[in-house]
Amino acid sequence: EKGTYDHYMLKEINDQPAAMRKIIQEYQDEDENLKIDTEIIDQLKDSDRIYVIAAGTSYHAGLIGKEFFEKWAGVPTEVHVASEFVYNTPLLSEKPLFIFISQSGETADSRAVLVEIKKLGHKSLTVTNVPGSTLSREADQTLTLHAGPEIAVASTKAYTAQIAVLSILAQVAARELGKGTEINLMQELAKVTTAITAIIDDAPAIEQIVNEYLETTRNAFFIGRTMDYYVGLEGALKLKEISYIQAEGFAGGELKHGTIALIEENTPVFALATQEKVNLNIRGNAQEVEARGAKVCMVSMEGLNQEGDTYVIPRVHEMLTPLVSVVVYQFIAYYAALHRGNDVDKPRNLAKSVTVE
């Protein structure tokens, strides 16, 4: 099934442009307008706050989704780690809508939340790659990712599919709520698809980055601000789970509040600069760690790039950059694991779907 690819993970990274095209196709009507079931939109319009519940990579996709729901649809949104929410439920609004994000639809921690909120009579929507899954069957509504089966334990195409589907949901909500924040999303997602393809074609250059930054290191840091901070969290998770390099993602501005003490001569720091508003800030943070000996790998976006940046991704809509920048981090994790001789698709201690709490 993995065909000519050495690993499922590599295949699934490469599947991403096709998954994007499939999503674009599935979520538009004959007139090429964005389309989401009316019941789902009605539920969303009817709620005063969204609670996103997820784990791991799906939680990281939820963080990006929050930006879409708040900035486009104007709906206040909280994102919660499922295993925490169950035992420490926050104060809920009057009319909450719960959105469960889960590739497998089988994550027990998320299901435990679903069971609880159903007892309270709250509405639920599951965003999943597996329509017949437990979370899909038990929630009021389902949105399907259409990413195709994901076999590798490290999630790649499900993350980008989750972000794409959440962007569509938030744009349709914005349209139906008359928010005046609509963009030509299908056109922008098509540009994203082209950009992802360009990075896939450029994989050998990313393997070189791994040779240069990660061959012997025990740890690595991922910094960014706003959306780039969230992508850094995902980059760090991907790297640690398959390469076993200790990796941490954090907000660039938090460095000086403690973490900078960990920077030593040659500590690799991956910095992401795709957001105009904080471009100079993150570059300032990169200089702070560089001055203390860090080896900074600056990944920026065309238009915001500066001389000396290590890698430049193609320009896409500023709200959609995570779909593209994460692909660089997926390849970094893949090659780091491969070069260390690890089992890329089946990292130690991990299972594809976590069906125990």
Tell me which residues in 255-314 interact with ligand F6R (CB under 6 A).
Answer: none
If binding means CB under 6 A, how many residues of this protein chain bind ligand F6R?
Answer: 15
Q: Does 142 bind ligand F6R (CB under 6 A)?
A: no
347 binds ligand F6R (CB under 6 A): no
The encoded tokens of residue 290 equal 């560089």
Catalytic residue among 2, 22, 71, 352: 352
Please report, as residue ranges, which positions from 219 to 258 form the binding site for ligand F6R (by CB under 6 A): 237, 241
In the bound state with ligand F6R, the residue whose beta carbon lies nearer, of 139 and 282, is: 139
- Please, is 84 exposed, middle or buried when counting C-beta atoms within 10 Å of its C-beta (0-12, 13-18, 19+)? middle
Which token pair is 339? 């070069």
Contact between residue 101 and residue 143 where contact means Cβ atoms under 8 Å apart: no
Q: Which stretch binds ligand F6R (CB under 6 A): 54-62, 188-196, 273-281, 295-303?
A: 54-62
Residue ranges in the chain assigned as alpha helix (H): 8-14, 16-26, 38-45, 56-71, 82-87, 108-119, 134-138, 157-176, 185-201, 203-213, 227-243, 279-290, 322-339
Among 58, 126, 321, 325, binds ligand F6R (CB under 6 A): 58
Q: Does the annotation mark 191 as catalytic? A: no
| Distance from C-alpha of 193 to C-alpha of 353, rounded to nearest angstrom | 27
Q: ∠ at Cα 69 (68, 73), nearest 5°?
A: 105
Task: Select the span of 18-26, 97-105, 191-199, 274-282 touching ligand F6R (CB under 6 A).
Answer: 97-105
**Choice between 236 and 320, CB closer to ligand F6R:** 236
Note whether 56 binds ligand F6R by CB under 6 A. Answer: yes
> 301, 323 in Cβ contact below 8 A?
no
Residue 55 lies near ligand F6R (rule: CB under 6 A):
yes
Q: What's the min distance (Å) between Cβ of 246 and ligand F6R? A: 16
Does the protein bind ligand F6R through residue 57 (CB under 6 A)?
yes
Binding to ligand F6R by residue 155, rule CB under 6 A?
yes
What counts of helices (H) and strands (E) characterise the chain? 13, 10
Q: For residues 210 and 218, what is the distance between their CA atoms, to the nearest angstrom?
A: 13
Query: Using CB under 6 A as the criterion, which residues of the chain lie in contact with ligand F6R when the complex forms?
Result: 55-58, 102-104, 107, 110, 154-155, 237, 241, 353-354
Which residues are catalytic, by number?
Answer: 352
